[in-house]
Amino acid sequence: MAPSSSAAVIGVDSSTQSTKAVVVEAGTGRVLAAGRAPHTVTGAAGARESDPGQWWRALVDAVGAALAEVRAAGGPGSGGTHRITGIAVAGQQHGLVVQDAAGRPLRPALLWNDTRAAPQAAALTGELGVEGWLARTGSVPVASMTAAKWRWLVEHEPRTAAAVAGVRLPHDHLTERLCGVPATDPGDASGTLWYSTATHAYDPELLELIGLERALLPELAPSGGSRVGGLSAAAAEELGLPEGIAVAAGTGDNMAAAVGLGLGGAGLLDHPVVSLGTSGTVFAATRERPAVAALAGFAAADGAGVYLPLGCTLNCTLAVDRVAGLLGLEREDAEPGGEAVLLPYLDGERTPDLPGASGLLTGLRHATSGRQLLGAAYEGAVFTVLRALEALPGGVAGGVPLRLTGGGARGRMWVETVRRLSGRPVVLPRGTELVALGAAALAAGAAGGGDPVALAADWGFGEGRALDPVPRDEEAWQRIEAVLAGYAGLLGGG
């Protein structure tokens, strides 16, 4: 059923650093307003944690700011023409939220970029074997994955683990705060390692191996756009929204970005995306179930039959900004790195799997400038992201452009470095908050019953300015590749 032209929906992106909320006209995709509120991440020596209560307060603030903007313009609640009909949350993947019986967090959430669970990930890999994990989940355990974090909690905080009444992902926790229903979707669940992309269900044998009871987990909705409940009276009062509006299952941030771009069963397949944010990712929606160790073999938010193979790095825009700060330069004060190679693995690294790594600089000469060093940081970050592209199904097909998204897509040096190291045509989508826009499409699907991917494709946020390819800088590529190969041990791969 097509949504009414007067209907509007809210999409929420609860990311590592902040929450963004957009109010979107469901029939046209017109963005009516947006709001934003920050998060705080704490921790050192591999620890990265956040208070889930802060996520909720940021969600309330971001939605409130967006609604205030709409109402000031004559929208919902002020006699305007739009009415809010649904809401969905897309959240940072992999985070471990442990709750008591009342749904209250027992401790701060362990985030995706918390690397303390590297030994537990290695143990899990050894217990089932690489091929065993790939056959069941499409992924190999790394420190980011939620199963490794649960093992870490059991081993390091057994009293907390024994008190747990519910295990949630970040977006699950917020969805439950909205409607009181413990629910998740196949996309985000596929990043836990206890969901099987082969059977499209929780895997009982994996749960036993991991040491997790099925009763602690939320129910699986068919897709991220499924309606799982109505907005509760308490949440409606806090948000200033009508009680009972549709709450979608929601999904992980990468899956929502794919929806926002119109990628999936009802949209584009095998079109690669490079996302440059706190993390760097490459992914594509495909009908081929991935089982390659270099990638995370996620499911898409569509549900059974569509997959989202993805390569993810821990160090991207924030790492390069840190290098710029150390050099006393602005982020655009960069030029190609010359002979210098800088691998900016400041927080360890996930792809390649080097959780103990630190940054590495080599090839320094008297003539090397600060601008070249900053350019080398860009090259190291972009190389690491693009290296995963070759493992994507259809990812290296000649002539298929890279869709470049995330905060880095708005930076001249990021765009030019991707073009120079990839040698590929590039599309800069017109949608700038694709995770929130994808969540809005999921909300529209839950409210109106339509296909969120088809709806988002009609909205057209995946289309944008096309840039022709430039010759690939083979010299820079080979120089960085040789350094990574020769210094893997020095980087701290253990």
Q: Are residues 204 and 296 in the same domain?
A: no
Cα gap 12→32, rounded to integer Å: 14
Model confidence band, residue 409 (pLDDT cutoffs 50, 70, 90): very high
Tell whether 255 is covered by a domain.
Answer: yes
Residue 79 in this model has a pLDDT that exceeds 60: no
Tell whether 346 is covered by a domain.
Answer: yes
CB atoms under 10 Å from CB of 399, counted, come to 7
Q: Are residues 415 and 477 in the same domain?
A: yes
Q: DSSP letters along 436-455, please?
A: HHHHHHHHHHHHH---HHHH
Q: Are residues 255 and 287 in the same domain?
A: no
Q: Are residues 235 and 280 in the same domain?
A: no
Q: Are residues 285 and 368 in the same domain?
A: yes
Residue 4 in this model has a pLDDT that exceeds 60: no
Domain count, the chain: 2
pLDDT at 80: 46
pLDDT at 489: 66
Q: Are residues 229 and 283 in the same domain?
A: no
Cα gap 291→265, rounded to integer Å: 19
Q: What token pair was written down for 436?
A: 């929130």
At 176, the amino acid letter reads E
Q: Are residues 327 and 366 in the same domain?
A: yes
Q: What token pair was written down for 11?
A: 């999409």
Last residue of a domain, one of 208, 226, 261: 261
Give φ, ψ of 251 to 5 degrees: -165, -175
Q: If you average pLDDT over residues 391-407, what whole number do you get?
A: 79
CA 124 to chain centre: 23
Q: Is 253 a catalytic residue?
A: yes
Q: Are residues 132 and 169 in the same domain?
A: yes
Q: Are residues 144 and 201 in the same domain?
A: yes
Q: If you average pLDDT over residues 46-64, what whole number do you get?
A: 97
- Calculated CA dihedral for residues 371, 357, 151, 89, nearest 10 degrees: 10
Tell whether 452 is covered by a domain.
Answer: no
CATH code for the domain of 473: 3.30.420.40
pLDDT at 195: 98
Average pLDDT, the chain: 93
Q: If you average pLDDT over residues 184-203, what whole number do you get?
A: 97
Expressed as residue numbers, the domain containing 368 is 273-432+464-491
Q: If you average pLDDT over residues 400-422, what whole number do you get?
A: 94
Tell whether 350 is covered by a domain.
Answer: yes
What angle (nearest 5°) sits at the alpha carbon of residue 383, between those of residues 381 and 389? Answer: 120
pLDDT at 138: 95
pLDDT at 268: 87
Residue 117 in this model has a pLDDT that exceeds 90: yes
- Strand boundaries in 164-295, DSSP class E: 166-168, 183-184, 195-196, 201-202, 219-220, 227-230, 246-248, 251-252, 273-276, 280-283
pLDDT at 493: 53
Tell whether 445 is covered by a domain.
Answer: no
**Whole-number Cα distances in Å, 1 to 9, 179, 229, 231, 484:** 15, 23, 19, 21, 52
Burial 177-201 (b: 16+ CB within 10 A, else e): bbbbbbbbbbbbbbbbbbbbbeebe
pLDDT at 66: 97
Tell whether 456 is covered by a domain.
Answer: no
Q: If you average pLDDT over residues 179-197, what whole number do you get?
A: 98
Q: Are residues 188 and 303 in the same domain?
A: no
pLDDT at 146: 98
Cα gap 367→143, rounded to integer Å: 39
Give φ, ψ of 448 to 5 degrees: -115, -10
Q: Are residues 194 and 251 in the same domain?
A: yes
- In the block, tokens 């756009």 appear at 225
Last residue of a domain, one of 261, 292, 325: 261
Cα gap 479→491, rounded to integer Å: 17
Q: What are 272-310's pLDDT values in tens digits? A: 999 998 889 999 999 989 888 889 999 999 887 899 999
Last residue of a domain, one of 215, 232, 261: 261
Q: What are 439-468's pLDDT values in tens digits? A: 999 999 999 989 999 999 999 999 999 999
Model confidence band, residue 419 (pLDDT cutoffs 50, 70, 90): very high
Tell whether 45 is covered by a domain.
Answer: yes
Q: Are residues 331 and 288 in the same domain?
A: yes
Tell whether 102 is covered by a domain.
Answer: yes
Q: Which is the catalytic residue, given 203, 253, 353, 458?
A: 253
pLDDT at 461: 94
